[in-house]
Chain A
């Protein structure tokens, strides 16, 4: 038994060292540079005589740039400027990595190898990205199939989030595919036995559906009446098609992993993978809509749809209990309980997923107080998102560790992979902000001032 402990802590320590070296140190370096810039430029009142001069010069520089006739820079605080600067640097770095990847190959930029052909870009950008974009079809079905009209205010933001999510997945695929210029091949080259073929088609078709589902916001903005009318006619069949496509490809992302019977850890390898992926996609879709609505309301000073979010929280609680029952039932039925109670890296991750990712938010959302209190609800949604993120990473990356360690390899993403992933996430957020400013997506009601100050205090 002592060996078990020793091995577990060895594995955990090795993983910790790798993560520190490959991820935390570079991030710390990036943030260190950012912090230095902040100290240098932020116009804070400081005792020394030299600093105000620098701050004044920066403020003067910003004023002069603002006065340029062609550029409209809104009033930004130094903190916001730093944020924009960091994101821009992230995008420039990502562009550099992507150019390097295109010309000098995936091996130059990623930590992938013959032993580990799939990594962060598949595990997070594609798998988690598609799961997180599931809110679109769930809310669309809620409004147009189940006819719960009261959820209409959150429909357009949910569809927008999903559309951006799938857009990011496609960009991530273009970066990850070795022969990316052949990405269109599944249209004319068919292998119906391949799960990936089915996923490719469903994602292609569903992205089109999402574009069509979002288009009413565009027609409204540009006042194109005939398009609005046409779309209104086809919206219900369109949404039903969207639900069909989403059911297929959310579950098929799980089916992708059925072929890895000899390689994937038995904690996550199950014939039930398609069902688990589908149920968890709906669950996390609800949580993403919750988070996105709460953040957007706060960022744009709008009224937060509390009663709608409470309704979503009820649905989340139901889905979480279904998901937990399926997951635990599957582990018991396949005789994995003894392994679950043994000490290993795999069991640690599984417990984390079950307790923090499912059980904890379920407990929070099971009580009416948890559902109605905005903070608790938000926190629960974050736990769900973290839990599903962990699940996708477990299935796609960590679940292969026990297999690849036989060949002396443990996959830790490289700096390039992290930068591209983070840059894509930042691009997604930026696209959301841009779309929300350009098109009528968010409900227009401003948050009442009294309500805002109440929201600041905790319940």
Chain B
């Protein structure tokens, strides 16, 4: 995939004139070819969440709403400011706000807060590896889990490049647990609980196409406020959860070394050859057996003739 396209001014004016989506003079940053960045049409229409860390105040209302909606244990009354709680996502915490010191001095540090949860990838590794299809990418966008199908093999946990699926390690009927973008609420026309609870608008819900356009607009309107990059646009084939920030993303615990290929492609390259390999081996073995059988038959015939003489 060509991921460094620089448009000349003439090309840009042509494009903005022709496109119905043309908004303002948006710089095309050095991330991905324009034609490809939204992925398929299907992916463009799927719902996602845009997380703008510059608007996040670290109030954790999203966390509180998520715990409540999913009947998870509530957060303690008082959590020290700027402390990530709980420190890790778990079977009882599908989302949390992480705090990173991104500026200031030791006496007066400046923190950036960032909400982390399942990225609802466009081509999720977890869904592709599940042997029984217990995790699926729904057409609407959320990646959801069905415990009734699950065997508890934990391949999804190992495969996720963001290490999101968590396990109920102390249960006799353990389930995989993770954010499901409130798929049931979406079916009723409501917003995900976290998005609804956010007081500052740091969380924005919409189709991937809308969110990317919105992100581009924000970057274009305030170029000194944002790093000109949308995290999640191209990571592992693109995710439905997108991030904006004013510091480099690796300072916020986001992995900038992920490949652009969707991870399922890595296995599909091999899996699609399985029928051919099976048939090929069968024919090869059958051929050898037939030839060797003939040879032995000839040998035995010769021996028989030799004995008769």
Contacts and interface: CB of A to CB of B under 8 A. Distances in A.
Contacts of A259: 125, 128-129, 159, 263-264, 266-267
Interface string A326-349: 000000000000000000000000
**Which of A146, A147, A263 neighbours the largest number of chain B CB atoms within 10 Å of its CB?**
A147
Interface in B158-195: 158-159, 161, 163, 166-174
Contact of B131 (A113, A141, A200): A200
**Which of B132, B289, B295 neighbours the largest number of chain A CB atoms within 10 Å of its CB?**
B132
A197 B156 CA distance: 13
Interface stretch (B26-34, B110-118, B244-252, B275-283): B275-283
B147 to A, nearest CB: 8
Interface in A261-292: 261-263, 271, 274
Interface residues of A, number: 59
A196 B174 CA distance: 19
A182 B266 contact: no
A7 interface: no
Contacts of A177: 151-153
B288 A145 contact: yes
Given A145-B285, A258-B270, A262-B161, A196 B171 contact: no
B264 A193 contact: yes
A259 B123 CA distance: 13
Interface in B69-97: 88-90
B259 interface: yes
B225 interface: no
B15 interface: no
B13 interface: no
B302 interface: no
Interface string A233-245: 0001001110110
A146 B292 contact: yes
A144 interface: yes
A106 interface: yes
A106 B130 contact: no
A445 interface: no
B259 A261 contact: yes
A191 interface: yes
B150 interface: yes
B130 A194 contact: yes
Contact of B159 (A190, A251, A260): A260
Grouping DSSP codes into helix (H, G, I), strand (E, B) and loop, the A interface class, with mixed when no group exceeds half, is helix
A114 B281 contact: no
Interface string B120-147: 0000010011111110000000000001
B50 interface: no
Contact of B88 (A114, A189, A192, A262): A114
B277 A248 contact: yes
A113 to B, nearest CB: 7
A182 B159 CA distance: 21
Contacts of B286: 240
A432 to B, nearest CB: 27
**Which of B130, B150, B270 neighbours the largest number of chain A CB atoms within 10 Å of its CB?**
B270
Contact of A114 (B167, B172, B257): B167
A311 to B, nearest CB: 16
Contacts of B134: 189
B289 A236 contact: yes
A178 interface: yes
Contacts of B203: none
**Which of A102, A108, A240, A262 neighbours the largest number of chain B CB atoms within 10 Å of its CB?**
A262
A247 B281 contact: yes
A105 B153 CA distance: 13
A361 to B, nearest CB: 27
A180 interface: yes
A147 B258 contact: no
B266 A114 contact: no
6 contacts: A114-B157, A115-B163, A146-B292, A179-B151, A182-B149, A248-B277
Closest 10 CB pairs of A and B: A178-B152, A107-B169, A179-B152, A147-B292, A189-B132, A117-B154, A197-B131, A105-B170, A196-B131, A117-B157
Interface of A: 102-108, 112-115, 117-118, 141, 144-147, 177-180, 182-183, 185-186, 189-200, 236, 239-241, 243-244, 247-248, 251-252, 255-256, 258-263, 271, 274, 407
